[in-house]
Amino acid sequence: MNRQDRADAVDREMAVSLLPDAAVQALGRWWSENASAHADGTPGAHTVRYAPSRWVQITPWPSALALTSCGGDAGVSRAEVASAVADALRREAFREALVATYVWGKGKRGTPGGSGPAALRKILAAEGLDAALGSAVSALREHGSRQAYAVLHRRVPGLGPSFFTKFLYFVGKTVSSATGPQPLVLDRVLAKRLRQMATAVGRASGYDLDGCVATWVWADGNWSPHRYEVYLSFMHAAAWPLATAGRHAHHPTCSNTPCSPPHGRPPADGTAREKRCALLFPGGVWVGTARWRLHRSSRCRTRRRPGAGAVRTPGRRQQAAGRSRPPSPQ
Taking only the tens place, the pLDDT of each residue in 245-299 is 554 444 433 333 334 444 443 333 333 332 333 334 444 433 333 333 443 333 4
What is the pLDDT averaged over residues 38-46?
83
* pLDDT confidence band for 217 (50 / 70 / 90): very high
What is the pLDDT averaged over residues 25-29?
85
DSSP annotation of 279 = -
Cβ atoms of 251 and 235 within 8 Å: the answer is: no
Q: Which residues pair with 312 in a beta bridge?
A: 317
Residue 324, pLDDT above cutoff 50: no
Measured CA to CA in angstroms, residue 75 lies from 33, 93, 213 at distances of: 21, 22, 40
* pLDDT at residue 138, rounded to an integer: 98
Return the domain boundaries, the chain: 3-39+186-319, 43-171
Cα–Cα distance for residue pair 248/246, rounded to 1 Å: 6
Helix, strand, coil percent values for the chain (each to nearest 5): 50, 5, 45
Q: How many CB atoms lie within 10 A of CB 120?
A: 22
Cα–Cα distance for residue pair 11/231, rounded to 1 Å: 9
Q: 304 versus 139: which is more confidently predicted?
A: 139
Cα–Cα distance for residue pair 147/232, rounded to 1 Å: 13
What is the pLDDT averaged over residues 11-24?
90
* pLDDT at residue 290, rounded to an integer: 38
Least confident of 27-31, 303-307, 323-327: 303-307
φ and ψ at residue 196, rounded to 5 degrees: -65, -45
Residue 321, pLDDT above cutoff 70: no
Residue 235, pLDDT above cutoff 50: yes
pLDDT digits (tens, 9 = 90+) for 168-187: 999 999 999 999 999 999 99
Least confident of 72-86, 211-225, 229-243, 274-288: 274-288
The verdict on whether omega for the bond into residue 267 sits within 30 degrees of 0, i.e. cis, is: no
Cβ atoms of 279 and 253 within 8 Å: the answer is: yes
User: How many percent of the chain have pLDDT more than 70?
Assistant: 72
Cβ atoms of 124 and 58 within 8 Å: the answer is: yes
Q: 303 versus 214: which is more confidently predicted?
A: 214
* pLDDT at residue 20, rounded to an integer: 84
CA-based nearest residue to 192, from 289, 101, 104: 289
Residue 51, pLDDT above cutoff 50: yes
